[in-house]
Amino acid sequence: MENDITISVKGLTKRFGNFTAVDNISFEVRKGEIFGFLGANGAGKTTAMRMLCGLSYPTSGSGTVAGYDITRQAEEIKRHIGYMSQRFSLYEELTVKENLTLFSTIYGMTSNAIKAKTENVFRILGMENMKDAPVKDIPVGWKQKLAFSAATMHNPEVVFLDEPTGGVDPVTRRKFWEMIYRASSEGMTIFVTTHYLDEAEYCNRISIMVDGRIKALDSPERLKEKYGVKTMDEAFRIVARDARRGE
Amino acid sequence: MNNAIDIRGITKKYGSLTALDNVTFSVPEGMMLGLIGPDGAGKTTLYRILTTLLSPDAGTATVAGLDTVKDYKGIRAEIGYMPERFSLYQDLTVNENLHFFASLFGVKVEDNYDLIAPIFHQLSKFPNRRAGALSGGMKQKLALGCALIHRPKVLLLDEPTTGVDAVSRSEFWDMLATLKEKGITILVSTSYMDEAQRCERIALIDKGRILDVNTPEKLVEGLGEHIYNVSAEKMYPLLEALRSLPEVKNCYTFGATLHIATESGFHPADAIRRLSDMGLTDVKIYPANGDIEDLFIKLAGNGE
Amino acid sequence: MSIFVSMIRKETLHLLRDFRTITVVLIMPLVLLLLFGFAISTEVNDVKVVAVVERHTDDTRQLLEKFRVNSYFTFKGTVPFNEVEPLLRAGKADAALVLKYDGDRLCHQIIVDASNTNTAQTSTAYIEGVLRGDSEMPVITNTLYNPQLKSAYNFVPGIMGMIFILICAMMTSVSIVSEKETGSMDLLLVSPVRPRTIIFGKLVPYFLLSCIILVLMLLLSYTVLGLPFSSSVFNVIWVTILYILLALSLGLLISTLVDNQVAALLVSGVLLMLPVIMLSGMIFPIDNMPVVLQWFSGVIPARWYISAMRTLMIQQLPVSYVLTEITVLAGMAFAVMMLAIGKFNAKH
């Protein structure tokens, strides 16, 4: 079972001066799991995520991602994860194909592998007719799928999604989540933050961060049961109610 | 009852792209109306016309009884506006922002204190903090405070809660409910369907056209489809299997389950049997109450 | 508080809060003035000269003595001919003077290190001057207006021409465009504030900032750089204010044409700053340019401003000598301001 753990974190803490952004968090994520990382604005989600991606060193505590230590093997981690955020995902001026090639090259794929993989992505997404269109000219729904494909071109073990669906309409969001389901069913681990609590229901397990700590961690059904509510939205509000930060 | 916002046949083109196509609807005084539609549906263009920032190619619109083209100067004192992704002056403090916007309208922050009291109360804990150092939720509240500072008759909010966490969003909507009680007309756009349910009426907009305007309940009644919840341990294979069934018109993720919209001759027991033949043995199917989100998906799907 | 005062107050707060920018903006003009005034000098001082003398006579001794006492030269002594090149190569000498006798006639040859053309030409000219002084045709040169041929304050007009474009055009356009980006401009426009008030609320703080910088630059020029003080300073000030207004209008115009800060920086940087540096006559004389570029320089405001400043500031001539420049600047300011305000008000 030990090999089934893709992300493992023990006592992870990050301080900026007097401010403890992430306060002693511990959790494990299994291979192929969709793990929802929830929390109010300013709860410390982004800081925690940056440490897991090898972008920032923890003040104390330890963790492994895809089998690599987050403090000592940051470069290895970057090679084995994918990352996508709402703020940046693709280069608007490059074409669809150029974007995919660029991201694959960054991750050190060979040109043969890139060619095969891009053809495959176009076929699965049904985008053959727009592969030479600049990204800025394609509809937002396609951009989302494309961004996810770009982040997973190198078949990473884990993909980190930082509010991937912010400000996107329900139809586009659904199509995006279908891609996540597919990736997860193929064994990819998904680590996702979101403000849409209906999306939290799609996750296998959810953690809710409040003021730098993990206040709740379980499957959506059991969390709803525990707080005696019908929706994740209500459960989240009960858990996050006492937050002192976020002001 | 008079209409606080009255839109008649508004059309706006950008080159060959039609952003708004003969849009007509109205918002009675004191109502909260939600404008719901996907990205690029024309919501922001409509807001820019109502706030007099843009002139329509055809059609007319009045806000607070004033024409958006002829009386554009008069309208400006009557509306409060929060543009999309707007977050005030980051390098000015909470107080400086409030006082600056008050001065633009020739009022004092204290003049309409009753209106912004709940916001003011929360903000009064840190009057000298820079707006840029506030959390996403507090920024939105400050922006709302600034939009209310001159006691507008009509509040125009363009996706005010995008990127804000659930607790802050809920508080924000509580504030809107209070404002509505004080007689302020509100036109608010959102991409969160749970928020849409909190509006009295909803205008559905897609590709520049208004698809329907009605109460959330009436809209859902008009869904005219049979919606079922479907669940199983392995969701992705289930999704693919359901889509292969001929009587399933549409299938999409819906929280912990999948929703399917079906033809009238759909029998759950029959479907479960066929799914089990495909290797999915743990499938559960039970009727669901369709909501705005189902309607939205249906309408947006028809457009494709 | 009136809307206008409130707008100005807000803009001033923006400026003061952006501590780094304001420091750079206040200090950079002064540093540029001092750099161009003292450190970067086009004069050639201290030319290191060696001499190769075939046969010492009274004539050669007299000649070499002149190099010894001349403050522009450092006479490094006489060397054999075959050592000249190694010395030039090593940079131990800048020029070598070869004195030969053709029969009874003394012949001169100048060998000069021309790796820096400018230094080579100037030092050759110096050496020729000294040699000519020795021959039968002495040349008397009178330099007017800048008697010591000091370059310390020659650069002041050019730097002023550049700084005000930078501060007024670049900073104003970036500040207006950033409000467009964040959406706050929309909010100002939908408030009862008139567009005119918004424009002037934006321009006045930058105008005041420019005036402060003008005062600092003038103080430095008249004290440290030793520019002679006279009543012409009043002409300098009001012509500069005209130029500042023109630069502000340009900034406003740019802000109506672009919609993000990077574009504003690029447009004001490439379209305004480069021509100011290359084509305004600040560094390269306009008369030496190809005719097409000379015409082109006619549309560059800094060209007219710098030309006017040279006349008013360095030559200290009355205003009647720069009427053309002032007319052109005023015309440009009016046209650009009208165009910018028109574009700013336009609805789309």
pLDDT, one tens digit for every residue, chain B (304 residues):
589 999 999 999 998 889 999 999 999 999 999 998 877 789 999 999 999 999 999 999 999 999 999 998 899 899 999 988 777 899 999 999 999 999 999 999 888 888 888 888 888 888 889 998 888 888 889 999 999 999 999 999 999 988 788 888 888 999 999 999 999 999 999 888 888 889 999 999 988 999 889 999 888 887 777 889 998 888 888 988 998 888 888 898 887 788 998 888 888 888 899 999 988 888 899 888 888 888 888 877 754 4
pLDDT at C76 over 90: no
Question: Mind listing the pLDDT tens digit for each residue in C283-342?
Answer: 777 777 888 888 888 888 998 999 999 899 888 888 899 999 999 999 999 999 999 988
Query: Which chain B residue has its CA at the smallest distance from C19's CA?
Result: B91
Which of chain A's residues have a Cβ under 8 Å away from the Cβ of B252?
174
Q: DSSP character for B255? A: T
Residue A69 in this model has a pLDDT that exceeds 90: yes
**What pLDDT digit, counting tens, does each position of A128-183 carry?**
888 888 888 887 778 888 899 999 988 999 999 988 887 677 888 888 888 999 99
How far is the C-alpha of B99 from the C-alpha of B110, rounded, in Å? Answer: 10
Q: For C248-271, what is each residue's pLDDT tens digit?
A: 999 999 999 998 889 998 888 888
Residue C347 with chain B: CB contacts under 8 Å:
53-55
Nearest to C347 among B55, B84, B99 (CB): B55
For chain A, helix (H) and strand (E) counts, in that order, are: 9, 10
Mention every residue, 6+ apart, whose C-beta is less than 8 A from residue C294: C286, C287
- Give the pLDDT of residue C46: 77
pLDDT at C139 > cutoff 50: no
> How many other C-beta atoms lie within 10 A of the C-beta of residue B17?
10
pLDDT at C135: 44
- Report B:112-131 residues touching C (Cβ under 8 A): none
Average pLDDT over residues A81-101: 84
- Give the pLDDT band of residue C35 (cuts 50, 70, 90): confident
Question: For C129-145, what is the mean pLDDT?
Answer: 56
Q: Where is average pLDDT lowest: A32-46, A208-222, B244-258, C145-159?
A: C145-159
Chains C and A contact (Cβ–Cβ under 8 Å for 3 or more pairs) = no
Q: CA-to-CA distance for A22 and C271, rounded, in angstroms? A: 48
In a mutational test of the B interface, the residue from C187, C194, C347 whose CB has the highest number of chain B CBs within 10 Å is C187
Share of chain C above pLDDT 70, in %: 91
Which pLDDT does position C152 carry in this prediction?
64
The residue in chain A having the minimum alpha-carbon distance to the alpha carbon of residue B160 is A167
Picking from C147, C103, C143, C111, the residue whose alpha carbon sits closest to that of residue C127 is C111
The whole-angstrom distance between residue C287's C-alpha and the CA centroid of its chain comes to: 16
Going by C-beta distance under 8 Å and a sequence separation of 6 or more, which residues neighbour residue C246? C301, C329, C332, C333, C336
Per domain, the residue ranges of chain C are: 3-40+150-345, 47-134
B65-68 long-range contacts, CB within 8 A, separation 24+: B65/B2
Tell me how far CA of residue C177 lies from CA of B89, B92, B146, C94, C255, in angstroms: 14, 18, 21, 53, 6
Q: Cβ separation of C13 and B91 shorter than 8 Å?
A: yes
Angstroms from C188 CA to nearest CA on chain B: 8
Closest-CA distance of chain A to residue B297, Å: 6
Cα torsion angle, B89, B91, B95, B100, sign: negative
How near does any CA of chain B get to the CA of A110, in Å? 30
Nearest beta carbon to residue B166 from set A169, A184, A237: A237
d(CA A239, nearest CA chain B) in Å: 10
Task: Inspect the interface and report whether the beta carbons of B38 and A221 lie closer than 8 Å.
Answer: no
Cβ separation A171–B164 shorter than 8 A: no
Can you give the pLDDT at residue C140? 47
Kindly report, as residue ranges, where domains of CATH 3.30.70.2070 are found in chain B: 223-303
Tell me if there are at least 3 CB pairs under 8 Å linking chains B and C. Answer: yes
**Cβ contact A203:A32 at 8 Å:** no
In chain B, which residue's Cα lies nearest the Cα of C14? B91
Sorted by sequence, the CB contacts under 8 Å of residue A70 that are 6+ apart come out as A51, A52, A54, A58, A62, A63, A64, A77
With an 8 Å Cβ cutoff, are B191 and A170 in contact? yes
Supply the pLDDT for residue C251: 93
Q: Would the pLDDT of A74 be above 70?
A: yes
| Stretch(es) of chain B classified as CATH 3.40.50.300 | 3-220
Superfamily of chain region B223-303: VP9 protein domain (3.30.70.2070)
> What's the pLDDT score for residue A215?
93
pLDDT over threshold 70, residue C158:
yes
Nearest residue of B to residue C179, measured between CA atoms: B89
pLDDT in tens, C159-185: 889 889 888 888 899 999 988 888 888
Query: Within 10 A of A207 (CB to CB), how many other CB atoms are there?
Result: 21
The contacts of residue B35 (CB under 8 Å, 6+ apart) are B43, B46, B187, B188, B189, B190, B202, B203, B205
Question: Which partners does chain A have (≥3 C-beta pairs < 8 Å)?
Answer: B
- List pLDDT tens digits, range A168-221: 778 888 888 889 999 999 999 999 998 888 888 889 999 999 999 999 999 998
Q: What is the pLDDT of residues B205-256, one digit of tens each?
A: 988 999 889 999 888 887 777 889 998 888 888 988 998 888 888 898 887 7
- B contacts of C3 (beta carbons < 8 Å): 103-104, 106
A217, exposed or middle or buried, with CB in 10 Å at 0-12, 13-18, 19+? Answer: middle
Average confidence (pLDDT) over C12-21: 88
What is the CATH number assigned to the segment(s) B3-220? Answer: 3.40.50.300
pLDDT of residue C215: 95
User: According to the model, what pLDDT value does residue B40 have?
Assistant: 78
Closest CA to C261 of C176, C141, C331: C176
Q: Where along chain A do its domains lie?
A: 2-240
**CATH assignment of A2-240, among 3.40.50.300, 3.40.50.970, 3.30.420.40, 2.60.40.10:** 3.40.50.300
With beta carbons less than 8 A apart as the criterion, state whether A160 and A82 touch.
Answer: yes
Question: Under the phi-then-psi rule, with left for phi > 0, alpha for psi from -120 to 50, and beta for the rest, what region is A205?
Answer: beta
Assembly ipTM: 0.78
B85–C347 C-beta distance less than 8 A: no
User: What CATH number does the domain located at C47-134 have?
Assistant: 3.40.190.10
Find chains touching chain C: ≥3 CB pairs under 8 Å: B
